[in-house]
Chains A and B, each alone.
Chain A
Amino acid sequence: MSGLQALLDLQQSDGGWAYSTNSSWTEPTCYALLALRCADGPRQAICLTSICRAAEWLARRQRRDGGWSPGQAVEQSTHVTSLAILALSALDGYEDIAERGVGWLLAQAGAETSFWARVARFAMGTQTSATGHTGWPWFPGAAAWVTPTSLAILALLKQQRGRYAPAIDARVKDARSFLLSRRCPDQGWNHGGLFRAGETPSSYPETTGIALLALAGTDNSEIQASIECGEKHALAPRSSEGDSWLRLGLSVHGRAPALSPGKYREWTVNQMALGMIVQSGKEGRSCFVDASV
């Protein structure tokens, strides 16, 4: 209960959450809302008011284009739109808002997949399998990366029954191919940059975890080495964020590393909320991935 109460206490008067101090930002608000929604029956009763206030905060912060900006001072919809869709997913009264977010998300793609970028790579002979699939950028106008692509996949999979269903299927399939093509030599994931022959960049626990989560339901034989890499990272994830994403990512592939609550300090609301989501067990997993997957 103490973790839950701490999270409730950190909710700001406007209904959102800050990363740690200062004003409300979209990302911590989404993670906090997801964590509150994961709380089990008796505990969820005390969260209801906070959930409503957080959802209203997100609804107010949706931009005209359907996306969300990271913070109040930022006049641009970005990758946090995926998190807002996830946080509002299946919440009564917010279906249209989430669907407008999906519309914005589907219109985004990594800049490297633009027509001119493809022409330039073709001309220079640098086209590879790692540049042939479409993912999502952190910020419009930039290339696609592992984390925003993974979050977009998770958000879209939660919205498969809406009017965008056919487009979602195609984008998710291609985005998963993007993830598979951006693996490091150890078969895990780092931030997702391309690397030259001979370079051996190492994967990160947190990005390996989130990518495994986004690959829920895919054929395990294709990602067996990635799962094993995730299990290795789970022995020393270096941060609560890495620990949480790995647990979520491995759990959807039938692996469950032992919990180690309190091992890592939680510096931000994101980390605190993710830790709570993990500890809520199956419900935590369902924050991101439907049981049917």
Chain B
Amino acid sequence: MHRCNRREMIAGSFVALTACSRKPRPEHWVSVIRARDYSVDLVGIVREILAEHKVAVRGKRVLLKPNLVEFSPGAPINTNPVFVAAAYQAFQAAGAAEVWIAEGPGHRRITMELAEAAGLFSAIHDFEKCFVDLNLDEVLLRRIAQPSSNLSGLYLPCTALACDLLVSLPKMKTHHWVGATLAMKNLFGLIPGGVYGWPKNILHWAGIDESIADLHQLFPRQFSIVDGIEAMQGNGPILGVSKHAGVVVAGSHPPSVDATCCQIMGIDPARIKYLDLVSRKTGWRLRDVRQVGELTRSVHTPFDLPPGFERLRLA
């Protein structure tokens, strides 16, 4: 019988210790799918995404949160209504017990008029029956454990708090304060204007990046599907110009989805502050992101960045 010498024992202990402490890193899968325009089979694409990510939809109460900001004839400010309608149909077809569409626009309080001008009434039958204006919803206070911002809590709409799955449906855009507005920043629309006003400026004073990280923490059951077909570049999120990116990006881990979008847009995700905050807080790393579908480099299309944000450019 071989007896270990001291050197072998020390080496063996080191190997054993290393093996014990090395938990497998979590893998966050992100789908990247080409979509030439809004006439492609978007319902099929979303259904495929839900199947691929094994999203538990059957019997669930699902809340779709598009990006609805401004009257924008021709400008890609809002999530395209055809895209929203496709997601609505796909979640219904996947067996959701209820599918709601909800948004609380940040600048204008005439939400239904914005929705009508955005084309949501024509794209979705009986739109007003499945839509909730989150600005005017009932609210509850939610405390933020170890906040990144200086907020100790936020009043949040009951409709969003009560859903089983929150689905962020953002428009892929550059943003003049945080670099890019994607799945995570889209959650600003959950903040009730009826409490905080138009705009929800309390988040700006608390730190925009920090507030994005805090909101992410308050909604653990999320899925994100980014409308990156006709996107916005330059001085986004409102005054930018159209950019054809031709992609749909989706996944159940919003920071991974946003990081993937950034790479497609030619933005270095490591330089996006809110992603860095999430990384510090949760241990998430860019190397944990796994792609399904198209490779990021095959759909990479550098966006013009907002003035003063060239430092974010992916090398």
Main SS class of interface, A: loop
**Contact for A138 among B110, B113, B138, B201, CB less than 8 A:** B201
Count of interface residues, chain A, beta-carbon cutoff 8 Å: 39
Give the Cβ gap from A59 to chain B, nearest Cβ, in Å: 21
Tell me which residues from 130 to 154 in chain A have a Cβ below 8 Å from any Cβ of chain B: 137-139, 141-143, 145, 147-148
Name the segment of A60-68, A193-201, A277-285 touching the other chain: A193-201
Of B140, B201, B202, the most chain A CB neighbours within 10 A belong to B201
Tell me which residues from 10 to 27 in chain B have a Cβ below 8 Å from any Cβ of chain A: none
- Cross-chain contact B110 with A238 (CB below 8 angstroms): yes
Given A141-B205, A238-B117, A78–B239 Cβ distance below 8 Å? Answer: no
Given A20-B136, A71-B195, A191-B107, A238–B113 Cβ distance below 8 Å? Answer: yes
The answer to the question of B204 belonging to the interface, with a C-beta cut-off of 8 Å to chain A, is yes
Please encode chain A, from 147 to 173, with 1 for each CB lying within 8 Å of some chain B CB and 0 for all others.
110000000000000000000000000
Tell me which residues from 115 to 152 in chain B have a Cβ below 8 Å from any Cβ of chain A: 117, 133, 136-141
CB closest residue in chain A, given B201: A142
The answer to the question of B60 belonging to the interface, with a C-beta cut-off of 8 Å to chain A, is no
Q: In the bound complex, how far is the Cα of B264 from the Cα of A68, in angstroms?
A: 47
- Cross-chain contact B204 with A265 (CB below 8 angstroms): no
Give the Cβ gap from B307 to chain A, nearest Cβ, in Å: 7
CB closest residue in chain B, given A73: B139
- Cross-chain contact B194 with A71 (CB below 8 angstroms): yes
Could you say which interface size class chain B belongs to?
Answer: 20 to 34
CB closest residue in chain A, given B113: A239
The answer to the question of B313 belonging to the interface, with a C-beta cut-off of 8 Å to chain A, is no
Q: In the bound complex, how far is the Cα of B176 from the Cα of A199, in angstroms?
A: 12
**Contact for A145 among B112, B197, B307, CB less than 8 A:** B197
The answer to the question of B29 belonging to the interface, with a C-beta cut-off of 8 Å to chain A, is no
Tell me which residues from 189 to 237 in chain B have a Cβ below 8 Å from any Cβ of chain A: 194-199, 201-202, 204-205, 235
Q: In the bound complex, how far is the Cα of B140 from the Cα of A73, in angstroms?
A: 6
Tell me which residues from 96 to 124 in chain A have a Cβ below 8 Å from any Cβ of chain B: 111
Name the segment of A22-30, A39-47, A223-231 touching the other chain: A22-30
B residues near A23, Cβ cutoff 8 Å: 138
Please encode chain A, from 248 to 264, with 1 for each CB lying within 8 Å of some chain B CB and 0 for all others.
00000000000000001
Q: In the bound complex, how far is the Cα of B141 from the Cα of A201, in angstroms?
A: 34
CB closest residue in chain A, given B135: A19
Q: In the bound complex, how far is the Cα of B114 from the Cα of A239, in angstroms?
A: 9
Q: In the bound complex, how far is the Cα of B198 from the Cα of A95, in angstroms?
A: 30
Q: In the bound complex, how far is the Cα of B71 from the Cα of A209, in angstroms?
A: 18
Give the Cβ gap from A119 to chain B, nearest Cβ, in Å: 16
Given A143-B201, A145-B197, A145-B201, A74–B108 Cβ distance below 8 Å? Answer: no
B residues near A137, Cβ cutoff 8 Å: 197, 201
A residues near B113, Cβ cutoff 8 Å: 238-239, 264
Of A22, A190, A238, the most chain B CB neighbours within 10 A belong to A238
Tell me which residues from 62 to 113 in chain B have a Cβ below 8 Å from any Cβ of chain A: 71, 107-113
B residues near A139, Cβ cutoff 8 Å: 195-197, 201-202
Give the Cβ gap from B131 to chain A, nearest Cβ, in Å: 11
The answer to the question of B309 belonging to the interface, with a C-beta cut-off of 8 Å to chain A, is no
* 5 contacting pairs across A/B (C-beta < 8 A): A25-B136, A111-B205, A138-B196, A201-B239, A265-B112
- With A27-B194, A74-B195, A267-B112 known, 11 other A-B pairs at CB within 8 A are A19-B136, A22-B137, A70-B194, A71-B195, A138-B201, A139-B197, A143-B201, A145-B201, A190-B107, A191-B199, A241-B109
Q: Which residues of B contact A (CB under 8 A)?
A: 71, 107-113, 117, 133, 136-141, 155, 194-199, 201-202, 204-205, 235, 238-239, 307
